[in-house]
């Protein structure tokens, strides 16, 4: 079975724009906006700002946040001390073990070297995604990703969640021009973290491009699953699912917001925060059982939304001016990612990267003309993209303030610090707003295309 990569031989129904677009002028840019656009088009300026922003992040890490290296330190310990390959890091998909082993080879038996090589790898990945966006003509996306990384801070170098986020970001960048490769990247992302697998559903669409995307995901997933099963066995293959199912309510999750509010503003001793065997701080106390059930129901809702988008995508029109565009697919991916974060009983700070990369690509696709009235369509798309992108940036800043900035004030203080708890709750509300806004907009656009 072969996954085709290019769409040059595809019929017009799979392209992002059509000849009809030329009859409509691009939206008029005010002089100030045009000047800003020209300045932002300088690669040297991007390189300079990127370098300065990352230098500031390095300075902040060196001065205040060296303790956030705990995750790569844990990876090294797990890989180094567990002789059996089928027992290493059972909370992660099996291919992740191979990826993390890449950094252990030059480190030998030194955890400090492992942490250093891991951080360098993530920094290169951050830079590579910026370069890929720029070379693809996605200048605004490159600037947004750089700003998003700065808002998240040095955490970007010490969590491998950046890898699936970049896979998904590039996949959405290529979603129509290279649908086969786009599907392969979604499959690779799912092999690293399970969540990208759900993005297959919104990408379903009649026609050659849709078939290639689905083929790319399925072929990649099946091949990696078979290799993993042969290497580590069935129990290890499915262990990430059972691990996630057994976890408690992490303090940063959206469903934990009511309990965290009580911990800070109510009768604080009714709630207890402990470090669980799942390497997370979890809260117990009144209402936590209900919150876990709500989380389960919300996860079911996320799957239902993804299935709905798949059905609407399959029924959507292939007529010029009415078909789904790269913007629609990316908007749907943003919605699903944000819904997953909101519904999850776990919300580690690095999950923010799940939405950061798709939001960057969404800003790029928002400027592409499409639909029966392209000028009006661009304006509508840009309003949606800027609103969601703005929510994402503010949520990223609040996330860094909470972790690594003031995490101890949440877990080691009774009652929990009201200012930092307020920061956490506002961040969670912003993520709910982002998820709801993106979902409503995505479903509306899919419904309009399906009715055409």
- pLDDT at position 186: 96
- Whole-number pLDDT of residue 108: 84
416, 409 in Cβ contact below 8 A?
A: yes
State how far the Cα of 83 lies from the Cα of 64, in Å rounded to an integer: 35
pLDDT at position 10:
39
Confidence of residue 373 (pLDDT cuts 50, 70, 90): very low
Count the helices and strands in the chain (H runs, E runs).
Answer: 17, 2
Q: What is the mean pLDDT of the chain?
A: 89
Work out the pLDDT band at 243, boundaries 50, 70, 90.
confident
Q: Is the peptide bond between 405 and the residue preceding it cis, with omega within 30 degrees of 0?
A: no
Q: Is the pLDDT of residue 124 over 90?
A: yes
CB 367 within 8 A of CB 316: no
Mean pLDDT value across residues 74-83 = 91
- 245-288 pLDDT, tens digit each: 889 999 999 999 999 999 999 999 999 999 998 889 999 999 99
Q: How far apart are CA 403 and CA 252, in angstroms?
A: 10
CB-based contact 201:306 (threshold 8 Å) = yes
27 pLDDT above the threshold of 90: no
Read off the pLDDT band of 12 (50, 70, 90): very low
Question: What is each CA distance from 142 to 10, 174, 235, 322, in whole angstroms?
Answer: 29, 15, 41, 29
Picking from 22-31, 168-177, 384-393, 429-438, which range would have the lowest pLDDT averaged per residue? 22-31
Kindly report the number of other CB atoms within 10 A of residue 116's CB atom: 16
């Amino acid at each position: 079975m072969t996954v085709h990569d290019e769409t040059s031989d595809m019929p017009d129904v799979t392209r992002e724009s059509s000849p009809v677009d030329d009859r409509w002028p691009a939206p008029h840019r005010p002089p100030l906006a045009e000047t800003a656009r020209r300045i932002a088009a300088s690669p040297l300026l991007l390189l300079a700002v990127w370098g300065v922003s990352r230098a500031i992040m390095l300075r902040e890490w060196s001065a205040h946040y060296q303790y956030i290296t705990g995750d790569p330190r844990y990876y090294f310990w797990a890989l180094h001390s567990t002789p059996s390959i089928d027992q290493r890091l059972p909370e992660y998909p099996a291919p992740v073990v191979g990826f993390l082993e890449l950094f252990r080879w030059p480190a030998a038996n030194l955890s400090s070297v492992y942490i250093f090589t891991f951080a360098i790898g993530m920094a290169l990945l951050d830079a590579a995604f910026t370069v890929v966006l720029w070379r693809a003509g996605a200048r605004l996306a490159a600037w947004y990703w750089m700003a998003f990384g700065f808002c998240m801070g040095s955490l970007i170098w010490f969590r491998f969640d950046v890898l699936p986020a970049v896979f998904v970001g590039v996949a959405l960048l290529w979603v129509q021009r290279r649908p086969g490769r786009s599907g392969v990247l979604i499959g690779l992302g799912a092999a690293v973290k399970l969540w990208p697998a759900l993005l297959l559903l919104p990408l379903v669409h009649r026609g050659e491009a849709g078939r290639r995307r689905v083929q790319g995901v399925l072929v990649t997933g099946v091949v990696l699953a078979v290799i993993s099963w042969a290497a580590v066995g069935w129990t290890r293959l499915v262990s990430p699912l059972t691990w996630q199912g057994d976890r408690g309510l992490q303090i940063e999750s959206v469903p934990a917001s009511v309990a965290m509010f009580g911990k800070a503003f109510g009768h604080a001793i009714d709630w207890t925060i402990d470090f669980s065997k799942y390497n997370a701080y979890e809260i117990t106390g009144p209402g936590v059982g209900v919150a876990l059930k709500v989380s389960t129901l919300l996860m079911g809702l996320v799957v239902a939304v993804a299935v709905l988008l798949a059905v609407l995508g399959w029924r959507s029109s292939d007529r010029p001016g009415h078909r789904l565009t790269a913007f629609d697919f990316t908007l749907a991916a943003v919605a699903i990612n944000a819904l997953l974060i909101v519904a999850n009983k776990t919300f580690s700070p690095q999950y923010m990267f799940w939405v950061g990369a798709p939001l960057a690509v969404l800003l790029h696709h928002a400027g592409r003309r499409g639909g029966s009235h392209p000028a009006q369509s661009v304006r509508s798309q840009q309003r949606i993209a800027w609103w969601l992108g703005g929510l994402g940036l503010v949520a990223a800043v609040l996330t860094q303030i909470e972790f690594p900035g003031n995490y101890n004030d949440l877990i080691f203080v009774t009652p929990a610090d009201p200012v930092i708890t307020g920061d956490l709750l506002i961040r969670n509300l912003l993520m709910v707003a982002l998820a709801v806004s993106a979902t409503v907009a995505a479903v509306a656009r899919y419904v309009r295309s399906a009715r055409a």
